[in-house]
């Protein structure tokens, strides 16, 4: 009987904390989401919309991550491999770390190459709610016009990520 109860509790716990796939796969960011502030490595504040506008004409892989996130760190080797296979893609990292020091130390510790911005632990901000953020890591692929081409991937080695990049590249 105890085993049955344990299995039942495990099942309930796994479902309670499981990542929920959004029911709608968005192709554009809500305007309010693009107004959320981020900080670059030099301490300059800007908006997410301005960050994205800097990469018009390029394919962008957006990674929402944090140093405290075990799954984020576990995905780093696959993310680096993806980066090596796609040198023409701009990798933009939005950190959800609790403080800027942890974010900067994590970039150095894990030797993460790309464009880095600190969003902070702002899950319920306009950006987080605008993309239905409920778990990290979260990867989005943006097309050359800044539209969302892959809205929901949680693993850097998800074949859908590379397929989306290849499709955009061949447009």
Which of 145, 121, 132, 118 shows the shortest CA–CA distance to 37? 118
Lowest mean pLDDT among 4-18, 19-33, 97-111, 151-165: 4-18
Which of 102, 29, 21 shows the shortest CA–CA distance to 67? 102
Q: Is the pLDDT of residue 8 over 60?
A: no
Helix (H) or strand (E) holding 139: strand 138-142
**Strand-by-strand arrangement of the 138-142 sheet:** 45-47, 37-40, 115-118, 90-95, 60-65, 138-142, 148-153
**Residue-range domains of the chain with CATH:** 31-170 (3.40.30.10)
Quick: pLDDT tens for 31-60: 999 999 999 999 999 999 999 999 999 999
């Amino acid at each position: 009987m105890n085993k049955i109860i344990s299995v039942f509790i495990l099942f309930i716990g796994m479902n309670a904390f499981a990542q929920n796939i959004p029911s709608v796969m968005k192709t554009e960011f809500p305007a309010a989401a693009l107004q959320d502030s981020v900080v670059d490595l030099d301490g300059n504040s800007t908006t997410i919309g301005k960050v994205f506008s800097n990469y018009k004409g390029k394919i962008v892989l957006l990674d929402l991550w944090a140093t405290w996130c075990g799954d984020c760190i576990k995905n780093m080797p696959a993310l680096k491999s993806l980066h090596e296979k796609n040198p023409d893609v701009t990798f933009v990292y939005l950190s959800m770390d609790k403080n800027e020091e942890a974010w900067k130390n994590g970039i150095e510790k894990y030797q993460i190459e790309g464009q880095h911005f600190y969003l902070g632990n702002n899950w319920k901000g306009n950006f987080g709610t605008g993309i239905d953020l409920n778990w990290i890591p979260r990867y989005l692929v943006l097309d050359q016009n800044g539209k969302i081409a892959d809205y929901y991937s949680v693993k850097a080695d998800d074949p859908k990520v590379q397929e989306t990049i290849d499709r955009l590249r061949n447009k």
